[in-house]
Chain A
């Protein structure tokens, strides 16, 4: 059974249809990349998978582990192992990263009938993951994302992913705004989490990230649909030639 199966997914915000029939299947162990221009609907897809309720799904379905994902609230999805690394991580003044992450870890553990982690075990677990992402130790005492640089916020997302150990991680433009060193650190963190029990969906604008996180599949999104899929050489071709040829190819097939 695939981990994620999206069938003919349509979604709108206000009265504007953004996703116009997405089909996508992801198995555990796989890394998929979705590429496309701004406004093609990539981020909307990421948010719909995570359960953002500002988008209304009008048609189609998402099966996660064979179950109807659209039936679950955002928090239930998270507890079932769906994780979204935000394109724009949100600042939460007054709530320390430590408190926030412990609440998240224990909400997920409770869902799986596991005992809550106490402060000592939590600290030990977190320390290891911080090393992986080369996070500063003071981070845990700081309010969530408050006053973080763009790069720190992105690293913090992958750090959270490392702590929460999701089965399906959706990374929404995690590479944007990162310099090359930060990009390598983030990629290192993501690669460390690759494994046979987990799948990763990378949403990205540029090929650059894919030099460091090699995807098994690359999809191109255009106006709310996946119009082309291939292996990672497709990403290289997009980098060299841009998206115009994809548009032309789609237009031709529609005319044919």
Chain B
């Protein structure tokens, strides 16, 4: 207990420092926001496995580590981001190192009419009112201690505003790189995305390691998709294998809005993603896709919520995981259909391949339905690669290793094939093809 208090206090003293740095500025609302949030965190602390939402994910290792606010390193070379950068395939690419904006690493192409992509700090100058109206209005500090912690330290991150009717043909890329230094550091990147009515864009968040080491990323993204707007959102997590990654993505959909989400988890020793989507307008549509590909002692926990508030909203969810080594996974997908949400059509599926006997998956669908004219289905499968499929491939001359690899690849490719942002799809499929150390001529290429 004393240990726990001590490290909570690490955050509290860091908070005091932050206040000295930025507090008392021109935005009392922001200061209030931070203060309320840190008070909330001080009151509840880190969640324990007794909390139903954290049943299978023990964050004690985060609690035990005295993380200090990450400083901005000056010596991150450009080639550290080569693997992750979209370069000119992006409409614009903002690079953050340890959550601090790194303009010299960013690709700042001119953007279409009045589209705004900037740091939060800059947006506080130019779009203060919009920020005040939206920031922390969706990600609830009372619902999740990590959201409280992020909001308490709200300072670094990105702001995206797509005005009404604007359509971008290339993706916006936010690349959050972590460069670990000597002592464990924590970053709390924050993203606010406002897609006004009938706008269209693809937005990618990449969280990746510029170098290995222990660090903690605690990210929160809030995304408002206006009436008739269409947004594809990709979150790719490729943190260091020693890192901790906690993220919350809060989405609000307007009338006839379309939201396509992809969440890929490859890195971190412990990762937890919450994707909460509220269908706030009639006829809105949400598709949530997930890919988890882990090994060793990695642990990835995906929690999703599809909150149907209005009628005639379809939602479709497919989360797939491949667990190798002694890794473990969690999927908890909740579909909530509120009384007004008639004609909801929701389909959820969670499928996991266990490549080793030691790997473990906890998969739990949860349906809560308060309307009588709805269609909701869910399904969950967990198991090894299918024996009959393996034998079928072997009986045609394909080796056991190649058969396992091909089937594993194809299993995940069903999800990655839905990603419309080509650089993301290619990056993920290249990683999938690289797994299992097969010689080049046996690796999967151009499978479809």
Contact = CB atoms under 8 A, between A and B. Distances in A.
B393 interface: yes
Range, interface on chain B:
20 to 34
Given A73-B400, A75-B400, A99-B447, A92 B395 contact: no
A47 to B, nearest CB: 9
Interface string B433-448: 0000000010000111
A107 B396 CA distance: 9
Interface in A122-178: 160, 164
Contacts of A92: 389, 392-393, 407, 410
A84 B393 CA distance: 11
Given A96-B447, A99-B447, A90 B396 contact: no
Given A86-B392, A90-B392, A96-B448, A75 B397 contact: yes
B406 A95 contact: yes
A74 B389 contact: no
A192 B416 CA distance: 41
Interface string B398-421: 111011001101110110000000
A154 to B, nearest CB: 14
A103 B391 contact: no
A90 B406 contact: no
B446 to A, nearest CB: 8
A3 interface: no
A173 B403 CA distance: 25
B425 to A, nearest CB: 14
Nearest to A106: B441
A96 B417 CA distance: 13
B414 A108 contact: no
B435 to A, nearest CB: 15
Interface string B371-397: 000000000000000111101111111
Contacts of A53: 391
A93 B410 contact: yes
Contacts of B398: 75, 103-104, 107
A97 to B, nearest CB: 11
A76 to B, nearest CB: 8
A74 B388 CA distance: 12
Specify which of B388, B409, B411 lies most central, judged by the most chain A CB atoms within 10 Å of its CB: B388
A95 B386 CA distance: 14
A74 B448 contact: no
A84 B395 contact: yes
B394 A51 contact: yes
Nearest to A141: B448
A166 to B, nearest CB: 10
Nearest to A108: B397
A42 B388 CA distance: 19
A67 interface: no
A52 B392 CA distance: 9
Contacts of A93: 410, 414
Nearest to A144: B392
A40 to B, nearest CB: 22
A13 to B, nearest CB: 13
A77 B397 CA distance: 7
Contact of B399 (A75, A90, A96, A99): A75
A75 B413 CA distance: 25
A50 B407 contact: no
A196 interface: no
A151 B46 CA distance: 59
Interface in B48-65: none
Contacts of B409: 94
B391 A52 contact: yes
Nearest to B386: A90
Given A92-B389, A92-B410, A93-B414, A104 B447 contact: no
A110 to B, nearest CB: 8
A89 interface: yes
A25 to B, nearest CB: 23
Contact of A78 (B387, B389, B395, B402): B395
Nearest to B409: A94
B395 A74 contact: yes
Contacts of B400: 73, 75
Contacts of A95: 406-407, 410, 447
Interface in B12-60: none
A111 interface: yes
A53 B386 CA distance: 14
B440 to A, nearest CB: 12
Contacts of B392: 86, 89-90, 92
B24 to A, nearest CB: 57
A111 B410 CA distance: 25
Contacts of B410: 92-95
A79 B399 CA distance: 10
Given A92-B407, A93-B410, A95-B410, A104 B396 contact: yes
A52 B441 CA distance: 26
A53 B391 CA distance: 9
Contacts of A73: 394, 400
Contacts of A50: 395
6 contacts: A74-B391, A77-B395, A78-B394, A90-B392, A101-B396, A103-B396
Shortest beta-carbon contacts, A-B, top 10: A94-B410, A104-B396, A78-B397, A90-B392, A74-B394, A107-B397, A75-B394, A108-B397, A95-B410, A79-B397
